């Protein structure tokens, strides 16, 4: 497994596996990267978890990914010329998800085989992100953890490091490490948690934990979750299917990420370790995960910041 996004401004990794009990991997993933006329980089990451059985489980997830691949290739350069790019991406992303929903339903009707897929998509640009989401795959944002960024630069080529530090005066939010779940599971157990009937731990182990209230390709109408926010250079994003997050609590995931970054500076190695650990934990489902950090972002009006040079102990 190799790092899938080559850019000195991005630290990334991905891994996928069928798990220990499935005969086929029905997960699909996507990454895309582009640069505007001023050299600012935008990237998209997506995970889709298909369902429908051995014969068609991966058809819906691949179809969903292909729609966003075509949308990106056709539209992103044009959108990069617009001032309100993230708002436009959100609107067009919802429209694309609705097209995917219609297409999967048509495919099901044509083949006589019912199928569906989750889809969680993250787009990052200049310190801002857009999340588009349907189903129970997840996107997390790990905040306030500077160690990984520090270690990355300490192991970087000094010439490259000096050049990059001079390009932008990046600010980093100071806080204690926390893992924020950006997506809301569209599942029966999530509703029970919201209503106070189940705890998070109960939900993870409930017999109905895989019952979805919304996914692409089943119902005529969908209501995708849209979330927009900001990120710092030290923040790490995790995009994953439920084959990963269903095995561990949020606290356990945070602890694993912290401990792994103390050992590795390479997010790809971290992804591969996590896949192996999932299989060691007897993973019943397919597992897909991506780890992403955008090393250079624009300044944001956020209190409690330190300059990147200070974070690295160089100022």
Per-residue confidence at 204, pLDDT binned at 50, 70, 90? confident
Over residues 200-207, the mean pLDDT reads 84
Q: What is the CATH number of the domain that holds 82?
A: 3.60.40.10
The pLDDT tens digits of the residues spanning 158-167 come to 445 555 554 4
Of 160, 104, 105, 115, nearest in space to 296 by CA: 160
pTM (two decimals):
0.88
pLDDT of residue 57: 78
What total number of domains does the chain contain?
Answer: 1
Q: Is 1 within a domain?
A: no
Q: Is 108 within a domain?
A: yes
pLDDT of 209 > 70? The answer is yes
**In whole numbers, what is the pLDDT of the chain averaged over residues?**
87
The pLDDT tens digits of the residues spanning 253-281 come to 999 999 999 888 799 999 999 999 999 98
Q: Is 49 within a domain?
A: yes
What is the rounded CA–CA span in Å between residue 154 and residue 148?
Answer: 10
Instruction: Measure CA 268 to chain center.
Output: 14
* Cβ neighbour number for residue 214 with a 10 Å cutoff: 22
Q: Is 188 within a domain?
A: yes
Q: Is 2 within a domain?
A: no
Range of the domain at 177: 10-311
Over residues 167-177, the mean pLDDT reads 54
Q: Is 81 within a domain?
A: yes
Residues 137 and 183 sit within 8 Å (Cβ to Cβ): yes
Of 232, 227, 31, nearest in space to 126 by CA: 232
pLDDT of residue 207: 82
Q: Is 4 within a domain?
A: no
The lowest-confidence range among 90-99, 120-129, 267-276, 304-313 is 304-313
The pLDDT tens digits of the residues spanning 34-57 come to 999 999 999 999 999 999 765 687
């Amino acid at each position: 497994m190799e790092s899938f996004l080559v850019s000195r401004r991005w630290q990334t990794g991905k891994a996928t596996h069928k798990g220990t009990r499935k005969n086929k991997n029905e997960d699909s993933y996507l990454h895309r990267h582009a640069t505007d006329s001023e050299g600012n980089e935008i990237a998209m990451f997506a995970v889709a978890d298909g369902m429908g059985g051995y014969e068609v489980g991966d058809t819906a997830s691949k179809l969903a990914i292909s729609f966003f691949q075509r949308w990106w290739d056709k539209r992103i350069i044009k959108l990069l010329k617009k001032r309100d790019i993230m708002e436009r991406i959100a609107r067009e992303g919802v429209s694309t998800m609705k097209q995917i929903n219609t297409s999967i339903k048509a495919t099901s009707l044509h083949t006589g085989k019912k199928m569906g897929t989750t889809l969680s998509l993250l787009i990052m640009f200049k310190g801002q992100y857009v999340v588009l989401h349907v189903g129970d795959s997840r996107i997390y944002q790990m905040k306030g953890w500077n160690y990984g960024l520090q270690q990355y630069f300490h192991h970087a080529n000094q010439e490259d490091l000096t050049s990059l530090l001079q390009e932008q005066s990046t600010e980093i939010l100071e806080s204690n490490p926390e893992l924020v779940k950006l997506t809301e599971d569209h599942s029966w157990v999530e509703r029970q948690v919201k209503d106070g009937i189940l705890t998070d731990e109960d939900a993870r182990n409930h017999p109905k934990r895989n019952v979805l209230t919304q996914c692409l390709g089943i119902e005529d109408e969908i209501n995708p979750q849209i979330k927009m926010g900001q990120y710092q250079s030290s923040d790490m994003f995790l995009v994953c299917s439920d084959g990963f997050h269903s095995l561990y609590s949020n606290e356990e995931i945070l602890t694993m990420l912290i401990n792994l970054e103390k050992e590795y500076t390479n997010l790809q190695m971290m992804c591969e370790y996590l896949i192996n650990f999932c299989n060691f934990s007897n993973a019943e489902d397919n597992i897909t995960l991506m780890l992403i950090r955008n090393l250079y972002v624009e300044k944001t009006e956020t209190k409690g910041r330190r300059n990147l040079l200070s974070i690295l102990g160089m100022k």
